[in-house]
Structure 1
Amino acid sequence: MTMILKPGALSLHQLRSAWNAHQPIQLDPAAYADIKASAAAVDAIVAKGGPAYGINTGFGLLAKTRIPDEKLEELQRNLILSHAVGTGDLMTDQTVRLVLLTKIGSLARGFSGVRPLIVDTLVALYNAGIMPAIPAKGSVGASGDLAPLAHMTLAMLGVGDVRVEGRLMPAAAALKQAGIEPVVLAAKEGLALINGTQVSTALALHGLFMAERLLEAGMVSGALSLDAAKGSDAPFDSRVHAVRGQPGQIAAAGIYRQLVAGSAIRASHLVGDERVQDPYSLRCQPQVMGAVMDIIANVSRTLLIEANAVTDNPLIFPETGDIISGGNFHAEPVAFAADTLALAIAEIGGLAERRIALLIDATLSGLPPFLVREPGVNSGFMIAHVTAAALASENKSLAHPASVDSLPTSANQEDHVSMATFAARRLHEMAHNTAVIVGIELLAAAQGIDFHRPLTSSAHLEHVYNALRAKVPFFDVDRHFAPDIEIAKRMVLDGELSAECKGLFAPLYA
């Protein structure tokens, strides 16, 4: 199905869908009137002849340098070539789709002064599956994501490389193959294309959508661990959470109640269990994961606004003909959102690591040491926990806020920057670290459930257990463990919860 883009009205559902898979897009025809009016306003400014930043002047500290009309096209092309200085690994196609989608939506709102041709070319690239090769490093998240967006724009010019169906190829060849003409940039267009927060926002959205999957998997693995450790479901009682009033906590407790409802393992120790309270990693799950829910909800709101925002500079207001230099390119909202999301991702993993430690400790869990039948001869989950601890510790360092840093650039003209691009980019690595930790917990909790057989867990958790066991058998004796962990990690990252469990989380994304 074709996704219809209404500028300023992109939904999280649309963004999530584009992140998940490539599908054709079409710009709402109603948007073209605003795009044309904006381009006409730029033409009028050029015809008038007065200096206007980014249209007939240099950039940054060179803003006082007036550029002759006959060199305006050269100015815009040179801007792209000189700013394409990114480095590092290329951004994934998932993220590049979000960059293109948000850039199209921003330009199409009609405040950037570009011709319809520019927007149509971006749409054509997207629909042809031509993904610009964008290095992930090189932006400080202010004055726009200049370097990465310049690499995006190179593809429109037929310069540099692109990726088509996962394969790198020259942009010129890809355009020719798809029947797309390289563009010649007119006044203001190069600046409009590279000035903006779309890369930081796309990277942060990538982190957000991964965090959603980690939240789901972390709650499911935590509920499975609760049963494996014969923990109590009393701390999930709705009355406990109602008197505190935190919305995420209330919602999380409700999900946990549904996850563990009907467990025969739980019923088996309702009488005669001398434990009064469980360790915090079991008992306080609604409080921690509920706070994570609230962060994800807040980040979602911020990033949805930014995904629909006009963030280039200067801005054109066609009704009055005004051109105003501002600072919407400063990505501080994205930086703050990414920094708080990093905390949430780290805490999902941190809490899961503590539950792994609990499960392998026979004095706490009541299970065989290191979750294996013959400990000593077998090490079981001993070193799998070490891996989880290493990654949880690594995430602590990665979670340090990036937004508190700033280095002046452009000869001190750009003297405060957001560092949003790094703030968002590091979420990918953190999410993979946490996916490993949660994957190890899933394996450990399933192992614990096996030791309680023939008793069964809840219907929801048995679905999860069976899905895991279809891919990873019971850990009877020591074996090459890394492949099992990789399978569990992929299940976490791919959102492979049973359909029944998945439905529990649907209200979070309404």
Structure 2
Amino acid sequence: MKPCLITGEELSIADVYDVAVQHRPVELAREVAEKLAASRFMVTRYLDEERVVYGVTTGFGRFSDRVIAPEDRRRLQVNLLRSHAAAVGDPYPEPVVRAMMLLRANALAKGYSGVRPVVVERLVDLLNRGVVPVIPSQGSVGASGDLAPLAHLALVLIGEGEAFVNGMRYTGGDALRQVGMTPLVLEAKEGLALINGTQAMTALGALAVEQAGWLADWADVAAALTFEVLRGIPEAFDPAVFAVRPHPGAITSAAHLRRLLEGSRLTTRPGELRVQDAYALRCIPQVHGAGRDGLEHVRQVVERECNSATDNPLFFPDTGAVISAGNFHGQPVAVVLDYLAIVLAEWANISERRTERLVNPALSGLPPFLVRHGGLNSGLMVAQYTAASLVSENKVWAHPSSVDSIPTSANQEDHVSMGTTAARKAHLVLNNLRRVLAIELLCGAQAADLTGPELLSPHGRATYAFVRRRVPFWEDDRVLAPDIERLAEALIAPEGLEHLSDVLGGMSA
């Protein structure tokens, strides 16, 4: 696999996913060392001149007016990491931690943080040698950046904290020894540079955005299968409808549906069974498409943040300026990740409504709960209950975090973003959506069996087969949970992405 080249400028969300999940190797671009040396020279010059520079010759936060003696400046950086490593809760999964390390390295590689090249090189070494710092998932307020989680990350670089290597948990020092690394001795400003940024929320956001793009396509695929077996009226997806209200996402989803339904012998004409469909069928492109447009905005913001300098202070070698400002504030990311949770929740919301139409005989014309011998068998009755529970839960998680703020650091940091909470919520909604779509697909395939899978469109038959390779026909009641989980996992596995490519072709997101 070709290495991911870190320049500070060109990292994509797909790159983040590949490094975090696929363990793609990482390299620093040649020009990075020169950029880092220029800003580091400014730090050493200011130290020689004994200038007062926040975080270099002073304390942090409320202590920014406390000048630190020269002999204590290394100790200051270590104390910063130790005192700020106050996160709690379950550790982040390995992909999230790997994404955090990649993004922190990329932010430092821009050359505005005043660190030596060795600091960035050591982050890259952790990635390439499989060292995964133990980072508890709760405790960041999202300004001044993700201080607590990034402190846990940085501790491992100096041989403290804890880390996983090959699935085994070690102290930071032992983890480094396992891979032939030695602890890094931090110089002035470097501890602050490692923790002052938005890389926890952005890492979570990047991974969520990548999966959300796949689930956007799966939502269209699941909806198309449901639409067929419920004998919907595809006239609602005519291109003329979307030409007069040209939202890009709706145009994309409508085009997907037209492709997926082409050749179906189940869809109907207006007046054949009904004049028009219920909203959960007729308005699929409008609802799915609004989410697609929202997701595109989220993607742009998160990708921009992946390539941003989020440190404080920032050193500008071209002008000689050192500026204390607020690029560490997570509000830009917090707002869009709240938005992402809403987008995902609405895709799940309308999917559950389609599932209800599938299992409800008054709405589907099919056997109750999609089972032939009802009464003795409950069929897929409780599959809809589960979807309803997940959708209800999503409505709680969709409440925005970014509208909350609790002042910190003795009111010096008097407005915070809660962006990492927004990011963690988005992942909860994402996982719920995946299961809700799996339930719809499961019910859609069962309905197809009762209707006649040979009547489905070619792409509908392919989706039916995808489900049936993982979940057998429901003849008699069995434990349903493993079926849901197996199908939900398949949606984001390589075979799920291959199926999207097959049925959507070049139209896939």
Report the TM-score when normalising by structure 1: 0.97
* Residue 319, structure 1, aligned to residue 351, structure 2: no
Q: 1:453 to 1:285 in 2, by over 3 A?
A: same
Write out per-residue CA displacement over residues 346-395 of structure 1, whole angstroms, 9 at most, x where no aligned residue. 01110110001001111211111111101111111111111110110010
CA distance, structure 2, for counterparts of residue 260 and residue 388 of structure 1: 25
- Counterparts in 2 of 1:461 and 1:274: CA distance versus 1, 3 Å: closer
> After superposition, what is the alpha-carbon deviation per residue over 1:218-247, rounded to whole angstroms, capped at 9, x for unaligned?
111111100111111111111111111111
Give the deviation of 1:271 after TM superposition: 9.0
Which structure 2 residues correspond to residues 9-158 of structure 1 after superposition, within 5 A? 9-158=10-159
The Cα shift of 1:209 comes to 1.9
Q: Deviations over 1:123-167 (max 9, x none)?
A: 111100111111111100011100000001011011111122333
Aligned match of 1:208: 209
Deviation at 1:260, TM superposition (A): 1.2
What is the aligned partner in structure 1 of residue 441 from structure 2? 442
Q: Check the 8 A contact 1:205/1:303 in 2, yes or no.
A: yes
C-alpha separation in 1, matches of 2:457 and 2:358: 19
Contact 1:265–1:455 (CA<8 Å) still a contact in 2? Answer: no
The equivalences for 1:176-215 within 5 A come to 176-215=177-216
Q: In the TM superposition, what is the alpha-carbon distance from 1:217 to its structure 2 partner? A: 1.6
State how many pairs are aligned: 507
SS at match of 2:221: helix
Q: What CA distance in whole angstroms lies between the structure 2 residues aligned with 1:499 and 1:21?
A: 16
CA–CA distance in structure 2, aligned partners of residues 473 and 9 of structure 1: 45
CA contact (8 A) 1:464 1:498 kept: no
| Alpha-carbon distance in structure 1 between the residues aligned to 2:168 and 2:425 | 25
Are 1:216 and 1:505, in contact at CA under 8 Å, matched by a contact in 2?
no
Offset of residue 307 of structure 1: 0.4
Please give the residue correspondences for 1:301-450 in structure 2 after superposition, counting only pairs within 5 Å: 301-450=300-449
Map of 1:466 onto structure 2: 465
Corresponding residue for 1:243? Answer: 244
In structure 1, what residue type is equivalent to 2:101? L
CA distance in 2 between partners of 1:57 and 1:7 (Å): 27
1:495 CA displacement? 6.0
Aligned with 1:455: secondary structure?
helix
Alignment correspondent of 2:451: 452
Displacement after TM superposition at 1:499 (Å):
3.0
CA positional deviation for 1:498: 6.5
Distance 1:307 1:158 in 2: 27
Q: Which amino acid is 1:334 matched to?
A: V
Counterparts of 1:13 and 1:507, CA distance in 2: 18
Q: CA RMSD in A?
A: 1.5
Q: Distance in 1 between matches of 2:418 and 2:506?
A: 33
Post-superposition offset of 1:319 = 2.5
Whole-angstrom distance in 1 between the partners of 2:298 and 2:505:
17
Alignment gaps of 5+ in structure 1: none
In 1, distance between residues paired with 2:467 and 2:347?
Answer: 20
> Structure 2: how far apart are the matches of 1:374 and 1:337?
48
Distance in 1, Cα, partners of 2:278 & 2:494? 28
**Structure 1 vs Structure 2: percent identity of aligned residues?**
44
The one-letter code of the counterpart of 1:314 is: P
TM-score, normalisation: structure 2: 0.97
Question: Aligned equivalents of 2:372 and 2:364: distance in 1?
Answer: 14
Q: Tell me how far 1:508 sits from its aligned partner.
A: 6.0
Q: Which residue of 1 aligns with 2:291?
A: 292
Q: In structure 1, how many angstroms separate the alpha carbons of the residues matched to 2:171 and 2:242?
A: 57
Structure 2 distance, partners of 1:312, 1:498, is: 37
Unaligned runs of 5+ in 2: none
Secondary structure at 1:111 match in 2 = coil
Q: How much has 1:270 moved relative to structure 2?
A: 4.6
Secondary structure at 1:265's aligned position in 2?
A: coil
Partner amino acid, structure 1, of 2:173:
A
Of 68-77 and 475-484, more deviation after overlay is shown by: 475-484
How far residue 489 of structure 1 moved from its aligned partner, in angstroms, is 1.5
Q: 1:507 to 1:157 in 2, by over 3 A?
A: farther
Query: Does 2:500 correspond to 1:484?
Result: no
* Structure 2 counterparts to residues 263-278 of structure 1, below 5 A: 263-266=264-267, 269-270=268-269, 273-278=272-277
Counterpart in the other structure of 2:172: 171
- Over 3 Å counting, the alpha-carbon distance change for 1:430 and 1:498 in structure 2 is closer
Q: CA deviation at 1:455?
A: 3.1
Instruction: Decide whether the 8 Å contact of 2:58 with 2:65 is kept in 1.
Output: yes
Please report how far the alpha carbon of residue 19 of structure 1 lies from its aligned counterpart in structure 2 after TM superposition.
3.5
CA offsets, 1:375-427, max 9 Å, x none?
Answer: 11111111111111011001001100110000000000000001000000111
Structure 1 residues 359 and 478: alpha-carbon distance in aligned structure 2, compared to 1, 3 A threshold: same
TM-fit CA distance, 1:482: 1.2
